[in-house]
Amino acid sequence: MLQYLVNRVLMIIPTLIVISMISFVIIQLPPGDYLTTYMTRLQQSGYTVDQSEIDALNRRYGLDRPIHVQYYRWITGVLRGDFGYSFDWQRPVNQLIWERLALTLAVTTASLFFSWVIAFPIGVYSAVKQYSPGDYFFTFLGFLGLATPNFMIALLLMYVAYRYLGWSVGGLFSPEYMAADWSMGKVIDLLKHLWIPMVVVGTAGTAGLIRVMRNNLLDELSKPYVLTAKSKGLKQVYMLFKYPVRLAIIPFISTVGWQLPNLISGATIVAVVLSLPTAGPLLLRALLSQDMYLAGSFVLLLASLTCIGTLISDVLLALVDPRIRYE
C-alpha cells in the first residue's frame, strides 16, 4: 500500500512538469505578447511610447529572450513561490490568485459532493428497482439535467431565489462581506451563496453519475457472489450494501478523475453568469489580454489541482479495492 502511494505521488511529478511546459507554450502561441498589445493600445490612444521604455520592460521580463529561457525563468520563480507579475493588473500574480483558487476549490468540491450525495442513493435505488416507475422518473430527471445548459439552470435558480425568496444570489458574498477580512460571518455568508453554483455546476455531472452508479450496480447484482451472499441468509439490505454496492462503488470513485476537469471548466461558465469571484473569469480575462504569467499560473495550478484530485481518487480506489493494493 505504501509502495503504491509513493509510486503514485512520484508519477505526478513528471506529469506536472509536462503540464507546466504545455501551459506555457499554449499561452505563448497566439501572435504577439502582452507588451505589443499594450503598446498598440497606447499608440492608438495618441501616446508616444519611448522605445527605451519598451526595451527596459522587455529586458526586465526577459520577453526578448527565446521561449525556453522565458519558461526557465518563470518556472524557477514558481518553485521559489514567485508566480511572476500580472501586466494587466500591475500586481504580482501571487496577490491575485490564491483567494480565487480557494473559492474555485470550494465551489468544485461542494459540487462534487452535491452530485455524489444525490447520485449515489438514486443510482442504487434505480438499479435495485430497475424498470420501476421511480427508475423511469429519475432517468427522465437525469437526462433533463444533462440536457439543460448550466447557465440556463443558473439563471433560473437566480430568478427563483431572487424573485420568490428575496435572496441576493449573484457572486459568492453579500456586498457587506465582499471586501471584509475572513471571519465566521463571512464563511456563513459564503455558505449561503455557495449552494446555487453548487447545484448548477453539480447538476450536469449528477445525471452522468446516476447512470454510472445504476449500471455498475446492475452489473454487480447479476454476479454469482451476490447469490452466495443471499444463500447465507443475510438481511436483504445488509447484503445489498455489504456486497454489490460495495463493489459498484469502485468505478464510481474513479469518476472523480474525469469529473474534476469538467467541474472546473463548467464552473468557469457558471462563474461568468453568476459573477463569482472564482478563478474562471479571471483566467478568461488573462487569456484575452495575453497576460501570460497570470494565465500560465492559473492553468498550472488548476492542472495541479486536477492531478491531486485524481491522486486522491486513486488512493481511495486502493483503499476500497484490495486487488489494486496487492498488484
Partner 1 sequence: MTETASTNIIDVRDLQVSFFTDSGVVRALNGVDFAIPHGKAVGVVGESGCGKTVTSYAVLQLLAKTAKITQGTIHFEKRDGSLVDLTQYKPDSSEMRRIRGGEISMIFQEPMSSLSPVHTVYNQIAENLFLHKGMNEKQARERTVELLRLVGISKAAERLDEYTFQFSGGMRQRVMIAMALAPEPRVLIADEPTTALDVTIQAQVLKLIKQMQEEFSLSLMLITHDLGVVAHMVDQVYVMYRGRVVEDAPVMEVFYNPLHPYTRGLLNSIPKLRGPRGKVTSIPGTVPDSYNLPSGCLFHPRCSEFIGEICRRDVPETREVGPNHRVSCFLYNEEPAGHEEV
Question: Which residue ranges make up the site for partner 1 (CB under 8 A)?
Answer: 223-225, 227-236, 242-243, 246-247, 250, 320-323, 326
Q: Which is nearer to partner 1, 240 or 299 (CB)?
A: 240
* Diameter over CA atoms, the chain: 88
Q: Residue 317 Cβ, how far from partner 1 at the closest point, in Å?
A: 11
Q: Residue 240 Cβ, how far from partner 1 at the closest point, in Å?
A: 11
Q: Could you give the CA distance from residue 281 to residue 295 in angstroms, rounded to a whole number?
A: 11
What b-and-e string marks burial along 116-154, b requiring 16 or more CB atoms within 10 Å of the CB?
A: bebbbebbbbbbbeeeeeebeebbeebeebeeeebeebb
Q: Which is nearer to partner 1, 291 or 321 (CB)?
A: 321
Count the helices and strands in the chain (H runs, E runs). 15, 2
Q: Residue 225 Cβ, how far from partner 1 at the closest point, in Å?
A: 5
Closest CA to 60 of 32, 183, 68, 52: 52
Q: Residue 320 Cβ, how far from partner 1 at the closest point, in Å?
A: 7
Q: Which is nearer to partner 1, 164 or 326 (CB)?
A: 326
Q: Residue 246 Cβ, how far from partner 1 at the closest point, in Å?
A: 6
Q: Specify the residue for cell string 454496492.
A: 245
Written as nine digits, the cell of 76 is 524557477
Closest CA to 302 of 98, 75, 94: 98
Cβ 85 vs Cβ 93: under 8 Å: yes
Q: Could you give the CA distance from residue 256 to residue 320 in angstroms, rounded to a whole number?
A: 15
Q: Residue 143 Cβ, how far from partner 1 at the closest point, in Å?
A: 23
Q: Could you give the CA distance from residue 269 to residue 201 in angstroms, rounded to a whole number?
A: 9
Q: Which is nearer to partner 1, 146 or 315 (CB)?
A: 315
Q: Which is nearer to partner 1, 98 or 136 (CB)?
A: 136
Q: Which is nearer to partner 1, 39 or 250 (CB)?
A: 250
Q: Could you give the CA distance from residue 15 to residue 133 in angstroms, rounded to a whole number?
A: 46
Q: Which is nearer to partner 1, 120 or 195 (CB)?
A: 120
Strands 85-86 and 91-92: antiparallel
Q: Residue 226 Cβ, how far from partner 1 at the closest point, in Å?
A: 9
| Cα separations in angstroms, 97 against 88, 152, 302, 313 | 14, 28, 11, 25
Q: Which is nearer to partner 1, 70 or 126 (CB)?
A: 126
Closest CA to 152 of 284, 7, 274, 33: 274
Q: Residue 229 Cβ, how far from partner 1 at the closest point, in Å?
A: 7
